Amino acid sequence: MSVAGKCDVVVIGAGIIGAMSALYLQADGRSVTLLERGDVARGASQGNAGILAFPEIIPIPAPGIMKKAPRWLIDPLGPLSIPPAYALRIAPWLWRFWRASSPQAFRHGLKVQTAMMQLAAAEMQRIAQMPELSGFISNTGTLDLYDSEASFNAASHDWQEKAKAGFQFSRVGRAEIEQLQPGLAPQFRHAMYTPGGLQVSDPYEFTKAIADLAASRGVEIRKGEAVRVEPAGDGAIVTLSGGERLDAARVVIAGGAWSKTLSSGLGDRLPLETERGYNTTLPRQSFNLTRQLYFNDHGFVATPLSSGIRVGGAVELGGLDLPPNYRRSEALLAKASRFLPDLKTEGGTQWMGFRPSMPDCLPVIGSSKASAAVVYAFGHGHLGLTQSAATGRLVSDLVCGRSPAISVEPFRPGRFA
């Protein structure tokens, strides 16, 4: 085996979390190697909706959610799906998800997500002020749409919690909905409008720009697949698939859905699962979409990107190995065409990606039990882009030995032991 020279910090994974962590670590004076087995930003970071969803503080595992799940699961193309071939494997994760939906766990998750989102918004504001990145972020505003007054009222508690956290929004009726986004189906008469809703123009281009900026400031971007991380003295050894070994003072594992194998090798058996997300990106001229649309009763969004109109969402818990089921993309697009009657659905590009998700829907940010030299940063589920700058800040705090900007105790890897 060949042994490379010593590295200061190796960040494994060049998606949005890894790229942002590398940028923050470099700003803190660390020498960083950003290791990516494929191409930068070509995983889950490529295909997200581009929404900076800071108001999304409500934990997904909420009291009563497991009563709704059977109804969702009846529809194989509905907002939640578990392929039969994966049902047995996902059972332990679902049990932990159910435990996380207790009232006490829900209140804890709400408090943690509120603190995390407040940090995320503040840190992303710093990122947006960088000349190289400012052009990627714009204020489009967000419309949260409901099918009926009953479903709108059912969400009132969530909106009350968002108001307590300091987020600004207002209820709007049909006339205002039509003014804010012309062309919606007449069924939408109840909505919340968040004027401060922020949008990334294209998540791939944004992540690539972060990696490029980090590289211009001295971060080395290397192609290579990490197959093992092991403690070595005060640092750690990263072994690549070809046998090369990197001797690092610190290692950050930010490999998204692929982080589970590396953390297991370090003795941290984490319940990391994979939400398979689907979308279709239509040509920009397919519809005059002016802002982010949440179709809350159907579990999907439509967002205006520089690369087109992206329609995506829903959850398929199916792991990394099953083939994609693009009928889910087609089902979302069919719904979107009913809700946006003038939408042209031809010429779209389908995509499926792997969202790394923990059963309590909180990320893993903290040191491995095997060594303080190894820091984890993965498991953000739907919120990787949104929480990327906050995670970069926290990772840099941990690697550099500072007290973290917020407590990382709720994110510690050992919380599932």
What is the rounded CA–CA span in Å between residue 34 and residue 215? 9
| 112, part of any domain | no
What is the rounded CA–CA span in Å between residue 176 and residue 116? 32
Amino acid 72: pLDDT: 62
Are residues 178 and 211 both part of a single domain? no
List the structure tokens of 340.
């946006």
Are residues 67 and 156 both part of a single domain? yes
Are residues 157 and 295 both part of a single domain? yes
What is the rounded CA–CA span in Å between residue 207 and residue 213? 10
Closest CA to 384 of 413, 368, 364, 410: 364
Residue type for 414, please? G
The CA angle 198-204-208, to the nearest 5 degrees, is 105
| 52, part of any domain | no
What number of residues does the chain have? 417
Are residues 280 and 180 both part of a single domain? yes
DSSP category for residue 323: P
- Terminal Cα-to-Cα distance of the chain (whole angstroms): 35
Are residues 266 and 277 both part of a single domain? no
| 38, part of any domain | yes
| 108, part of any domain | no
Q: In this structure, what CATH number is given to the domain that contains residue 177?
A: 3.30.9.10
Split into its structural domains, the chain has a count of 2
Closest CA to 11 of 220, 267, 320: 220
Amino acid 8: pLDDT: 98
Amino acid 4: pLDDT: 55
Amino acid 348: pLDDT: 97
Are residues 239 and 178 both part of a single domain? no
Amino acid 2: pLDDT: 46
Range of the domain at 324: 62-102+137-197+273-357
Contact 371, 266 (CB under 8 A): yes
Walk along the chain (417 residues) and give the pLDDT tens digit of each residue. Answer: 444 568 999 999 999 999 999 999 999 999 999 999 999 999 999 999 999 999 999 999 999 887 776 666 656 667 778 888 888 999 999 999 999 999 999 999 999 999 999 999 999 999 999 999 999 999 999 999 999 999 999 999 999 999 999 999 999 999 999 999 999 999 999 999 999 999 999 999 999 999 999 999 999 999 999 999 999 999 999 999 999 999 999 999 999 999 999 999 999 999 999 999 999 999 999 999 999 999 999 989 999 999 999 999 878 899 999 999 999 999 999 999 999 999 999 999 999 999 999 999 999 999 999 999 999 999 999 999 999 999 999 999 999 999 999 999 999 999 998
Are residues 298 and 283 both part of a single domain? yes
DSSP category for residue 403: P
Are residues 262 and 279 both part of a single domain? no
List the structure tokens of 205.
């281009």
